[in-house]
Structure 1
Amino acid sequence: MVNDRKKNNSAPDTIIKPSRSPRSTAMGAAFLMAMAAVGPGFLTQTATFTGQMGANFGFAILICIIFDIVVQMNVWRIIVVSGRKAQSIANDVFPGLGYVLSALVAAGGLFFNIGNVGGAGLGLNVLFGISPENGAVIAAALALIIFVVKNALVVMDRTVQILAFVKVAILVYIIFVMSVPYGTAIQHTFVPTKIDFYSIVTIVGGTVGGYISFSGGHRLIEGGVRGEKNIKYVNEGALTGIGIASVIRVLLFLAGLSVVVAGYKLDPTNPAASIFKYAAGNFGYKFFGILLFAAGMTSILGSTFTSTSFLDYAVKNKGVSSYEKYRKYLVIGFILISTLIFYFVGNPAKVLVFVGAANGFVLPISLTILLLASKRKKIIGSYNHPKWLTYSGWAVVLFMAFASIKTIIGLF
């Protein structure tokens, strides 16, 4: 096997014997990706832009869903077919590029995780009245317990699946008790009267930017799902994850639009909480606490798992075992640093919107790397990447690069 690795750089980073079926692993990856995306930042961004743009924000969501499909299908396929993590692929595309990608993803993941632990802490504050800082400490402790137990990946998968159903159930209830202007929402989604590039860059970045686009792919190969033979499970997992995240986004948008159309003004310091409070009073506000805690916990798990996976550059079995030996400490350090920064700095709301935009700037870079890799035989072997994914992938790169530049110019 060592000789094979010397001959072929596309050898997988890690040799894992799957303990679960490929479909089960793919569903775990789907929920991990979706719930990594649907965190406190997701709630804050969606509520903020719904309050600012009203029904026109539906167009940004539509573009986001289309881009989600293109990005995730490209990223998951190339990672799984190569059997390697994105940073290792990037180093083969251009020496040293993997280290740059790791730095961008890990830094973005760390900043997002500050908001994640803060969001979970705020959720506990709403529910039990404890301080957000102490709530963040409790949430961090729960996340650490999940990561350090035996079969941590399985426990993580089950946790995010349960919390996903909690999120959907709460949002369905809010939609049920509100008068939703479906006609207005549909009309402006397809024929907007205003297009805001900053909102598009931010929510695309918050859904498939930075670490999020790699969370599902890295979860698959760590679960032993790799190679062209598993493409069908890649498709199922990617589309399921996108579907879950999109349903939650649309439900939150409709709930927020109902509140805005009714004449209420969302609180800029906590716009998502305003939606639930106006919709269902104190009972709705408590529901929001559950939703925010669930969103924070799932994103802590997704952000920590994916960000630390970018620190693995092992190319031999010995390197893999060394990385796995120290990964527990990387996870602990990542969560502790995020929690300490929130505890002493606080104010995650503005950070969450800003980091979503920053991850949107990273997206064209990371997607470009993988699209270039899809043409390298030493990385993907005999696999032929679909032309429609290649062309649509480059279209997303160009649009996000243009939108990012336009957003930066608009800030000055």
Structure 2
Amino acid sequence: MTSADGGTRMVGAAAEGSASATAQWYRLRGRRKTGIIVGLVVLLVAVSLVDFLLGGGSMPARDVLATVMHPAQSRPIDHEIVFDIRLPMTVTAVLVGGALAAAGSQMQTILGNPLAEPYTLGVSAAAGFGAALATVSGFTATDIGAALGMAGTAWLFAMLACGIILLFSRFRGPGAETMILLGIAIVFFFDALLALMQYLASETQLEQVVFWTMGSLTRATWPQIALLSVVTVAGLVFFYRNAWSLTAFRMGDDRARALGVHVDAMRTVTLLVVSFIAATAVAMAGTIGFIGLVGPHVARMIVGEDQRYFLTTSAIAGSLLLVGASAVSKIIQPGVILPVGIITAIVGVPVYVLIITSKRGTLWAS
């Protein structure tokens, strides 16, 4: 064997060793991220149990658990409190928090903007105006309005905001800058219309509108919960199936195209799916801020940008934030459940400041 052959074999062995070490490093990193996700799920279950046991009344925790374990033997009033009030609130918090954070994570991904969330494209503002219009105009008193309700009308206007963006994007191309600028314009437009509705509303109507815009988990029904579950799961399946393409967006549009991603088509379809999820969540719970913004940033800090882990962690983080806020809203003033949107804003601001001033040094740290 010549020295050249020996050198070649040594180089080959070194390359194989390096590849093996790299593969092992990726496996260990994947296990660590999976462990983080499992830990977050356990924490979410614990916090959800606390929120469920707190409830909005004075029903002792042992009676709540007894009603859950033996529903047929419980008193009718206890059964109603547990299964028609407390449990729907906790389940709604988990679903809405996860839906808003998942929507925010994909908005940030396709738009390349760390401040993107359902508010950015006017989804929440349009939904707020829709709910106010249904109340102030008396639309809910009509047959169609009674069938839709405030939630249904809010959903229609939230999707209208998405439709406006998609329509205008067809003329200038579905670029991130175009969508963001249109979203900002839509936010201001519908906020102005919402202020007009509040000005024209009677005292009773104004109270309903303001309460809705503060965000609340008390209005959800089991059919609405089932609808949000289907919409959210369908959206997550779409995101997971296109995880590689969505991850490529983080390298910029040009590099994503070079990797074979149909950037414009993927951005448009993803925006539509995100709008469906966000509109359904906002229509159920009202305007709840910071969940769609903070949840993805928390996920990005602990698992990075890989959509296989990032999307799951974002949804769990959003659920944790909203369930935690729901629990806090029940203990600040005993016997009174504060609008959860107030709590998320108060808690969300310092959390967000902590994120952007952390050692990572950047909103896009991975």
Higher relative contact order (Cα pairs below 8 Å, separated by 6+ residues):
1
Query: TM-score with structure 1 length normalisation?
Result: 0.29
Which of structures 1 and 2 has the bigger CA Rg? 2
Q: Could you tell me the TM-score, scaled by structure 2's length? A: 0.32
